[in-house]
Structure 1
Amino acid sequence: MKLLLYIGSRTVSMLLTLLVVSALIFLIINLPPGDYLTNQLAELRATGQEAGVAKAEFLRHEYALDQPLWRQYLIWLGAAPGPHGFNGLLQGQFGWSFEFSAPVSEIVGEALWLTILLNLSTIVFVYVMALTLGVIAAVKARSWIDYTTAFIGYLGLATPNFLLALILFYYGHKYLDLPIGGLMAPEFENEPMSFEKARSILAHLIIPTFVVGTAGAAAMMQRLRASLLDELSRPYVETAIAKGMPPARMLVKYPLRAALNPFVADIGTLLPAMISGSVLVSVVLGLQTIGPALLTALKTQDQFLAAFILVFVAFLTLIGTLVSDVLLAMLDPRIRIGEKRK
């Protein structure tokens, strides 16, 4: 019951936080002078294209860009009526992309799901690699195994993602016949999901997952190793071994469980870090994620497209934080949900 109440209160807090974050995102995007249509209007007037000027002026009114900034935000959010009534995020309308001349929902439609899929596969890769190598490095501390895993970790942290993408782009295809470019074969784009399309997506996920997840796995492995080494030096470990508990069982039941706290807490920051870290990788490998669209939107001041993508990333951050908080409460009996400190 306490867990359900906690999840409910955290959900309300998450929605309020998302509201504040969306307002800040909209404000920051509009801090540079002008917008997409203002820049276009200046260019059209300079070249004397009156027909284009009339169309741009019509679009400014159509999407309420001629309104004060606070009202633009409320209309985009769907909390205030615009030229077409209440027609914003709350009503499922994400706005219009001026750069691509299409609704934002069409631009990011399939890209959102592919982004989520890529990041979920990356998170699984990060946690499996970090947990395995971190535990081995801590148990075999100051041995050749520890030094080898440390070298792998430092190599992962030091190698830029885009450089690693280029290396695997060439050698992965040459020696392992791995598909390169995109997250599916070209013939499956804009096609409904099928077994062959799913298989193509999974094959194309191998290189991006490894590239995006390498740095995160290396950093988490080092944190887990340090945390587990600290737990293994505590007196209760020697007591458990002295009482005859098998080392493997003792490791899993006590030190590893206690050392997992920061490991689990990283879920909240891992999701947005994966998305931001995959932008250049997506451009290099031609991935159909929201990364290239975000980069284009920010460069061209396509405010509705950029704002939606950034709000989506903020939403993933809050979801990850909620998941990590709940898992921590279930993992560590020292954390009491809903209990006030006396």
Structure 2
Amino acid sequence: MKQYAIRRILQIIPTIIGVSIVLFGVFAMAPGNFVDSKQTISDARKAELKEKFGLDKPVHERYFIWAKNTIQGDLGMSTQHQQPVTTVMNRYMWNSFIIAAIVLVLSWTIAIFVGVYSAIRQYSFFDGIITFLVFALMSLPSFFIGLLAIKFFAVDMKWAPVGGMYTTGSNATGMAKVWDLVQHMWLPVSVLTALSVGGLTRYFRTSMLEVVRQDYIRTARAKGVKPSTVIFKHALRNALLPAITLLGMEIPALFSGAMITEQVFNWPGIGKINLAALQSRDYFLLMGFTMFLAALTLVGNFVSDMLYRIADPRVRMK
């Protein structure tokens, strides 16, 4: 296990270097930059800004400067916010993390129980209803569901604020501030959970159907083991093994934010900030955050591999 972990860590190093080269090359080939997009400044000022941000240097030289600074923890200066990229990310990323963490727990919990029950009641009325709802949720765009939720629950019923993270001008502290946050948060959390639970339910249902047809499940039933024990102790444990890989991919999703949903609900998350950075060509912020997500993706894959070897003895023996 130790040798495998070391080997996987060593494999991450050339991978992250390759990702950084591709990432920087893509942004370098993008037409224009934030300096050229400014039509109100003189050519002399544009040349000065390009020299300041290193945009007048060759691409390979700019890459090595950027890579060196990135290794030292300096992701550059956000031209839109006029602050270091790390400061901007730290300010908005945790707002997205709050919602993403709650959505992760809710969607996985609902998907596991609904998917398992749908699998053991295959072709039943409940299974048909779940299948219909799952495909309906998977087919509807996030902005449509978000706007529909705002229309019914915020505008018509007034059960939640229309948008934002806190009430504008509020000076609440302590539990009053927490309650204000909960009131603003439950609607986007509900929308994102509904969008996430559909695909996960199908995934767990399919995985459970494959397991319950295995010989050891038939043997356990033939020996008189209680149905609940067969399902939740033997079948579910093995059905969840493939989900370890899926769970590892959730690590970058916790920090990436929901771009469209955050825009619809005016939630100050990192997804909304990245959309604004794309529109203003704030490439330093885009490159820094994309590189951060790439590193998290590699870490998630590494964690998944380790957990899979721990959970499944057959993989560990190989």
> What TM-score results when the alignment is normalised by the length of structure 2?
0.88
Counterpart residue number, 1:110:
91
* Match for residue 178 of structure 1 among 145, 160, 178: 160
Please state how far the C-alpha of 1:244 moved relative to its aligned partner.
1.6
Measure the CA separation in 2 of the matches of 1:167 and 1:66: 48
Tell me the residue number matched to 2:203. Answer: 223
Letter of the structure 1 residue corresponding to residue 94 of structure 2:
W
**How many correspondences in the alignment?**
317
| Cα distance in 1 for residues equivalent to 2:256 and 2:95 | 15
* 2:304 corresponding residue in structure 1: 324
Query: What is the Cα deviation at residue 196 of structure 1?
Result: 4.1
Alignment gaps of 5+ in structure 1:
80-87
Where does structure 1 differ by over 6 angstroms across 4 or more consecutive aligned residues? 274-277
Superposition map of 1:6-25 within 5 A: 6-25=4-23
CA contact (8 A) 1:94 1:308 kept: yes
Counterparts of residues 293-312 of structure 1 (less than 5 Å): 293-312=273-292
Pick closer, same or farther for the CA change 1:215–1:31 going to 2, 3 Å: same
Spell out, residue by residue over 1:292-329, the C-alpha distance to the aligned partner (whole angstroms, 9 max, x if none): 22122223322101111211222332233233223322
After superposition, the C-alpha distances for 1:243-288 in whole angstroms (9 at most, x for unaligned) are: 1211111112222122112222212334556777821111111111
Q: What is the alpha-carbon root mean square deviation over aligned residues?
A: 2.6
The secondary structure found in structure 2 opposite 1:261 is: coil
Alpha-carbon offset, residue 194 of structure 1: 5.0
Code of the residue aligned with 1:58 in structure 2: it is: E
1:125-173 deviations in whole A, cap 9, x for unaligned?
A: 2211110110110111111111122122112101111111111112223
- Whole-angstrom distance in 1 between the partners of 2:176 and 2:288: 31
Aligned to 1:33: 31
CA shift for structure 1 position 5: 4.8
* Aligned counterparts of 2:4 and 2:158: Cα–Cα separation in 1: 48
* Structure 1 letter corresponding to 2:119: A
Higher relative contact order (CA 8 A, sep 6+): 2
The corresponding residue for 1:76 is 66
Describe the SS at the equivalent of 1:74. helix
Unaligned runs of 5+ in 2: none
Q: Say which of 231, 245, 253 aligns to 1:251.
A: 231
TM-score (normalised: structure 1): 0.83
Q: Is 1:125–1:210's contact at 8 Å kept on the other side of the alignment?
A: no
Contact 2:220–2:230 under 8 Å retained in 1: yes
Structure 1's 164 and 66: CA in aligned 2 closer, same or farther, altered over 3 A?
same
1:227/1:259 contact within 8 Å kept: yes
2:125 aligned to which of 144, 148, 164: 144
Q: Work out which of the residue numbers 82, 88, 91 in structure 2 matches 1:101.
A: 82
1:34 positional shift:
2.8
What SS class does the counterpart of residue 111 from structure 2 fall into?
helix
Letter in 2 for 1:14: I
